[in-house]
Amino acid sequence: MTTKTTRAVGVDIGGTGIKGALVDLEKGELLSDRVKVATPAGAEPDDVLAAVQSVLDTLGVTDADIPLGVAFPAIVKNGKTLSAANVAETWVGFEAEKFFEDGLGREIHFANDADVAGIAEVRYGAARNVPGLVMLTTLGTGIGTALLYNGTLIPNAELGHLQRAHHGKDAEAWAAYSAMERDELTWKKWAQRLQWYYSYLEFLLSPDLFIVGGGVSKHADEFLPMLKLTTPIVPATHRNNAGIIGAAALAVS
């Protein structure tokens, strides 16, 4: 392997923050400090592009010879964003990959944020060598989901938007980490909402393993033990860095 293919840059665009780092692709570890900036208010394309550029500038990795992967909170098909749960509506039907490539002056690999976190966990983390159906959920501003069957990603599973018939809300509005903060819930009260969500997923999909990612996964011992499920449920190995690591890994796939 050459130096160019053993490291890449991953940038993870979220509803509240944009973070990036240089990644060792052999170990699945960060080679640099993680740089994070706030997602611009309104999250319009031009503003998000400028924020991504500032992350790359701070990292000192503007060299186009270093592969770049970008993760984004939307359905992504053929480089186009088809949804916009926690960003501007402008992104719906938007040629996002081409927009970033033109704006940054380099090729990138562009993918859904939960999907790249799933890739990080299947290559370097809790889903590695796990047979059957693994479901990763990222609990943050929203709920992202990734489905991995025998190590192969089934892309764009938007199961954070399952509907709660009696509450008029989708799952992420009811059970994301942002809902815990918004409604000032205790860990116990939040776990009751998560119980509904994971029980529903268990009923629909009969997975072999749940993996919980997102920033709150570093507090997994506060809420995961309260959940009563048949399916094993564990925190993501790479916690909130999974998006960065997975985006970088996909940049050279």
User: What DSSP string runs through 159-189?
Assistant: GGG-EETTTTEEHHHHHSHHHHHHTT--HHH
Same-domain check for residues 12 and 94: yes
Q: Within 11-169, where are the H helices? A: 45-59, 96-104, 113-124
* Model confidence pLDDT, tens digit, residues 49-96: 999 999 999 999 877 789 999 999 999 999 999 998 778 999 999 999
Cβ count near 249 (within 10 Å)? 23
Same-domain check for residues 18 and 82: yes
Mean pLDDT of 10-36: 94
Same-domain check for residues 110 and 138: no
Q: Residue 3: pLDDT band by 50, 70, 90 thresholds?
A: very low
CA distance 48 to 43: 6
Same-domain check for residues 16 and 87: yes
Mean pLDDT of 220-242: 95
- Residue 14: inside a domain: yes
- Residue 120: inside a domain: no
Same-domain check for residues 139 and 219: yes
Same-domain check for residues 230 and 140: yes
Q: Is the pLDDT of residue 43 over 90?
A: yes
**Tokens 């709660």 found at:** 164
Same-domain check for residues 7 and 95: yes
- Residue 121: inside a domain: no
How do 80-81 and 76-77 pair as beta strands?
A: antiparallel
Same-domain check for residues 137 and 217: yes
Same-domain check for residues 143 and 231: yes
Closest CA to 115 of 170, 64, 75: 75
Residue 227 per-residue DSSP state:
-
Which helix (H) or strand (E) covers residue 147, if one does? strand 143-149
- Residue 30: inside a domain: yes
Domain count, the chain: 2
Q: Residue 181: pLDDT band by 50, 70, 90 thresholds?
A: very high
* Interacting residues of 112 by C-beta distance below 8 A, sequence separation 6+: 71, 72, 73, 74, 75, 76, 144, 146, 155, 156
- Do 11 and 21 form a contact (C-beta atoms < 8 A)? no
CA distance 84 to 98: 17
- Residue 94: inside a domain: yes
Provide the domain limits for residue 82.
3-115+242-250
What CATH number is given to the structural domain containing 92? 3.30.420.40
* Model confidence pLDDT, tens digit, residues 108-161: 999 999 999 999 999 999 999 999 999 999 998 889 999 999 999 999 999 999
Same-domain check for residues 173 and 96: no
3-state helix, strand, coil in the chain (%, to 5): 40, 25, 35
Q: Is the pLDDT of residue 188 over 80?
A: yes
* Model confidence pLDDT, tens digit, residues 98-122: 999 999 999 999 999 999 999 999 9
- Residue 124: inside a domain: no
* Model confidence pLDDT, tens digit, residues 197-220: 999 999 999 999 999 998 899 999
Same-domain check for residues 232 and 136: yes
- Residue 172: inside a domain: yes
- Residue 123: inside a domain: no
What's the pTM value of the predicted model, to 2 decimals? 0.90
Encoded amino acid at 90, one letter: T
Same-domain check for residues 84 and 18: yes
At residue 135, the 3 state secondary structure works out as strand
* Interacting residues of 166 by C-beta distance below 8 A, sequence separation 6+: none
- Do 249 and 25 form a contact (C-beta atoms < 8 A)? yes
- Do 195 and 174 form a contact (C-beta atoms < 8 A)? no
Closest CA to 212 of 229, 236, 188: 236
